[in-house]
Structure 1
Amino acid sequence: MNDSRIEQLLNLAGGQENIRLVQHDDVNTTTLTLLNRKGLNLSLPVVSNLDADIRITGDQCYITLEDEFSQLYHMLQVMGVRKAEGDALPETRRTRKKSLLYFISDVFRPLMPAILGVAVLKIVLAIITLFNVYSSTDSSSLMDSQTFLIFKSIGDNVYYLLPILVAVSTAYRLKSNVYVAAAIGGLMFYPQMTALLSGEEDVHFMGVPIVSQALFFSASIWVILTIYAASYLERVVERISPRAFKGILAPLLTFLILVPLVLMILGPLGTWIDQQLPDVVDSLLNDVPIVAIMLLGAVYSLMMIAGLHYWLVPVMINELMVNGFSLIIPVMLVAFVAQAGASLATGLRSNQREFRKLAFWATGTALLGTPEPAMYAVNMRKRASFYSALLGGAAGGLYFGLLSVKAVALGGSGSLLDIPLFMEAGSLNLLHVCVGLVISFCVSGVFTYWMIGKERKHA
């Protein structure tokens, strides 16, 4: 929180003397209550810059801002703006009506230190692996060493446990039972469930088919929606349960009814996707490959959110076995680069130092194969950023489709370090890859920067 932002906030509030009290809550927001709502200066262009949520109720005016590290709250207290003793403020902040994208971003924000930390570790390990592959000396002992494998496990562990972390963060945001949420998030890790969904046999639950794709059930969007439903059920049940059953009946009904219900809904959905998606993708690639690659470039990020991208892996392998190359593998790379471009532009437009730092780090990790920080923590906070990233993926995908850009080996990380996979003797395939990535990065970045600026002018 820099001095210029404090000054902008005070101007918006009508001066320090117009602030009656300041409060910070456990949802990481700071709320200012004004003495005189007429002192509020809405003509300032800084309203959108500050991302302020303004509520006027009668003679009272409240200004709510995100303040994850409590810097704004503490600085205002140092300046002498304090909550008066015994001065109660009922319902000082408004629950902002946020889109699903914004809520998902809120869920992922607290997870970013862990995700960014292991992302950097995975990038270092990927660079070591790349040097090992193209090194003239035989260093396979390093790759097979227990030390390297342990470091690799450390890097993969956070992503392996991501459904549990997402469930806990969602429950914290919704003020529901985090331990029940963790149990729901970890369901697909239970050995018996893992063995059951291994694909060796058809699985049915109460007569309903369950797709043999555990990773689909563990996708972030399904975990978040399940915990949201569980939190609603918990509030309703706790309100009507007898005192002897409080704290017990809600988890019981969640495990007994809600979780099986979710499985019975997602099971047929996953089964239908398992039957239809590969055939649809194959048909589009055969009939209209340019349109197919463009569409996949646009929606690949959405497929990641819903866990649908796992169904593309067998299609990629089949492409390599039948044709000797893959048209889908480049789509992953162009989608990640588009997220990086939007993240960079969002960071450049932001006046919040901590968010800007997060956006810049997220840009780097997205370029090197880890798009989650850019996609979840940065771009989803503003629809302009996220939609621009999808547009950038479509633009790059269109170029790849027109030039028939292909990967000649299976890498799968979607990183710029995978560029050697596109080297093909006697062709300009590698050059077209570079051009397509630049197009994707620039389109998403330019549109993000322009649209955010346009939103501020009309705010």
Structure 2
Amino acid sequence: MKYQELVKTIVNNVGGKENINSVTHCVTRLRFKLKDEAKANTDTLKKTDGVITVMQSGGQYQVVIGNHVPDVYKELTEQTGITTNSEVNEDQSPKDKNIFNAFIDTVSSIFTPILSVLAATGMIKGLNAVLMSTGIIDNTSGTYLILQAAGDTLFYFFPIFLGYTAAKKFGVKPFVGMVLGGALVYPSLAPAAVTGAGTVEPLYSVFQGSLFESAIHLEFMGIPVILMSYASSVIPVIIAVYFASKVERPLEKFIPDVVKTFLVPFFTILIVVPVTFLLIGPIATWIGSILGAVTTAAYNLSPALAGILIGGLWQVFVMFGLHWGLIPIAINNLTVLGNDTLLVLGQATPFATAGVVLGVIIKTRNTKVRALAIPAFISSMFGISEPSLYGITLPRKKTFFATLFASAVGGLIMGLAGTKSYIIGGLGLFAFPAYINPETGIDAGFYGAVIGIATAFVLGLVLTLTIAYNPKIDSEEEQEDNLKPETIIDNVEIASPIEGEVMPLESISDTAFATGLLGKGVAIYPTKGEVIAIGDGVVTTLFPSKHAIGLTLDNGIELLIHVGMDTVNLNGKYFDSKVAQGDTVKKGQLLLTFDIEGIKSEGYSIETPVIITNSDQYLDVVEAETELAKKDFTLLTVIN
């Protein structure tokens, strides 16, 4: 019952129950599909006790809760009756229908429901690997076989489970999706069963002399069937279920209601299963093999560079949901190659985060920060770093960059050591068994994982204790909720330098601006192509392309106005500056003009960030509650 009020607040501030298409959850986040994200009160949610932050990524409105998100999700579904939508939503906004967002949303929707069980069964396989590598049991014992059955069943029959979740995503009847997945792993159609493990001669071969040469052992209505091993596969069943969604819907329309219940699945399965074995399965398997080969080639080109990039950027991938695009590739690599070198390089990240957060716990004098940091530290040690990311490291910036650096070093060491994962195992401390080679046991790759992770943890801790964290920023007397009204002095109201529609900064497409890494502020969708000085000061920056101008006001505030996204590529076209870098300007002076329609005609967005680049020097930068920015309207308030 303790989550009732939190859930009511969340539902009200995502636009109410009527604005929710569907909702699911992962390890730390509620993932909403909203009819209109503009109706959500993002700022209010971010300030709500029990909410760590809000992210808008991949067509999803993500409310980050923390480790107790399953309890919050349960309360939410009980209050609203809303769960994951089994139908494809046709009323998404155009923004959500771009290819990248659609891909991320599809992958996360299919894999999120299954990841926790996949990790749990992987931990059982990891335990089995530890017991075998230490000589406690051998791989012929009954103990080993039963534990292996418990741990490997889900991964071996992965197409069946993915058939269910993919069906939920694509709007197919879930049990039809399971049948499609089950057909792919039907024992009599496994290549070894048909060929007698190589003792039965094929009828003939197809694609002879090419990379796709295949032996044919059976035909379907005279058409050769290329049999492949679909156990643990990912791509074939997802494509098959998507194809089934295109078959099932017309059947729903044309088959009479009186026989629809059994004839729709009858014809769907009758059509899709043969097409899957004849066409979808082989092509998808070849795609998977090529994907595995490309991933391996990229890794082999420079394991060290791969470790730096994946390790150093993994936290950023998680922030924006980009890691969902890598998970199917890693699972595909395990299926095709027997190991993965992709996700493993990011596994130092939660430990680097834990080291940084431990440093904050040691140094901070703020009891509230310590109370938040301790559970976040424990969570990071077990592989869940979002509470640390959004609650501790990211708001303090330097600690966030310390995490990225320590993670990159950990990834570098693991890359140089050739660390691989051989199972989808647990997270954090529970992931170590996944690095044990099932053939050779504990090898250099395993030691590389231990050394890389330990180095990332220690480096994150040392950086925080030395240069990455100043506890004064969190001291009790500097906290806003402890300040008396009369001590908040010299607040500065910033007028809008541009007329137009005010947008939340996090809603724009450029992630550097949207995440606040360059400073706090807002974005404006201009209705008039003029930039006006909002106070006396100096032009400290004027880009040669004239698309962005920076001012340092006499009161010390540093303001950046960046007209449009990627408009630097226009090389000054449609822009006309009225001042030069170094000029002294007066309040109300015209600084820059630009042609809105001209910029839009070139295909560029005109959403314009207006940010305080030195906002870390102030207690806060608060957005005005206004939808329109006009001359002399207060846009931002800088709180000293």
TM-score where L is the length of structure 2: 0.42
Q: How does 1:323-342 map to 2 (within 5 A)?
A: 331=341, 334-335=344-345, 337=347
| Equivalent-residue separation in structure 1 for 2:377 and 2:234 (angstroms) | 21
| Equivalent-residue separation in structure 1 for 2:195 and 2:350 (angstroms) | 34
How much does 1:157 deviate? 1.9
Residue 164 of structure 1 corresponds to: 160
1:213 aligns with 2:229: yes
How much does 1:184 deviate? 0.4
1:435 aligns with 2:452: yes
Residue 421 of structure 1 corresponds to: 442
How much does 1:186 deviate? 0.8
1:270 aligns with 2:285: yes
| Equivalent-residue separation in structure 1 for 2:155 and 2:450 (angstroms) | 28
Post-superposition CA distance 1:174-223 (Å, at most 9, x none): 443222211101112212211248873544466667363323xx533432
Residue 329 of structure 2 corresponds to: 303
Q: How does 1:112-151 map to 2 (within 5 A)?
A: 112=115, 114-130=117-133, 132-133=134-135, 139-140=136-137, 144-151=140-147
Residue 236 of structure 1 corresponds to: 250
| Equivalent-residue separation in structure 2 for 1:390 and 1:258 (angstroms) | 46
Aligned with 2:442: secondary structure?
helix
1:102 aligns with 2:105: yes
Residue 72 of structure 1 corresponds to: 76
Say if 1:94 and 1:339 are closer, same or farther in 2 by CA, change over 3 A: farther
Residue 376 of structure 1 corresponds to: none
Unmatched 5+ residue regions in structure 1? 54-62, 78-91, 134-138, 314-328, 346-356, 368-388
Residue 412 of structure 1 corresponds to: 422
| Equivalent-residue separation in structure 2 for 1:358 and 1:234 (angstroms) | 46
| Equivalent-residue separation in structure 1 for 2:292 and 2:422 (angstroms) | 19
Say if 1:160 and 1:178 are closer, same or farther in 2 by CA, change over 3 A: same
How much does 1:283 deviate? 10
Residue 515 of structure 2: which of 424, 439, 454 is its match?
454
> Is the CA contact 1:121–1:155 (under 8 Å) kept in the aligned structure 2?
yes
| Equivalent-residue separation in structure 2 for 1:433 and 1:164 (angstroms) | 35
Aligned with 1:412: secondary structure?
coil
Instruction: Read off the aligned partner of 1:331 and give its amino acid letter.
Output: T
- CA RMSD across the alignment: 6.0
Instruction: Read off the aligned partner of 2:128 and give its amino acid letter.
Output: L
| Equivalent-residue separation in structure 2 for 1:119 and 1:280 (angstroms) | 22
> Is the CA contact 1:210–1:271 (under 8 Å) kept in the aligned structure 2?
no
How much does 1:337 deviate? 1.3
Which structure shows the higher helix fraction? Answer: 1
> Is the CA contact 2:352–2:457 (under 8 Å) kept in the aligned structure 1?
no
| Equivalent-residue separation in structure 1 for 2:341 and 2:121 (angstroms) | 24
Of structures 1 and 2, the one with the larger relative CO (CA 8 A, separation 6+) is 1
| Equivalent-residue separation in structure 2 for 1:254 and 1:243 (angstroms) | 16
Q: Identity percentage over the alignment?
A: 19
Unmatched 5+ residue regions in structure 2? 25-29, 64-68, 82-88, 203-213, 315-324, 356-374, 386-402, 426-430, 465-510, 524-640
Residue 149 of structure 2: which of 140, 149, 153 is its match?
153
Which structure shows the higher strand fraction? Answer: 2
Residue 86 of structure 1 corresponds to: none
How many residue pairs match? The answer is: 359
Q: How does 1:312-391 map to 2 (within 5 A)?
A: 312-313=337-338, 331=341, 334-335=344-345, 337=347, 364=382
Post-superposition CA distance 1:347-392 (Å, at most 9, x none): xxxxxxxxxx99988974799xxxxxxxxxxxxxxxxxxxxx9999
> Is the CA contact 1:343–1:362 (under 8 Å) kept in the aligned structure 2?
yes
> Is the CA contact 1:172–1:178 (under 8 Å) kept in the aligned structure 2?
yes
| Equivalent-residue separation in structure 2 for 1:45 and 1:175 (angstroms) | 31
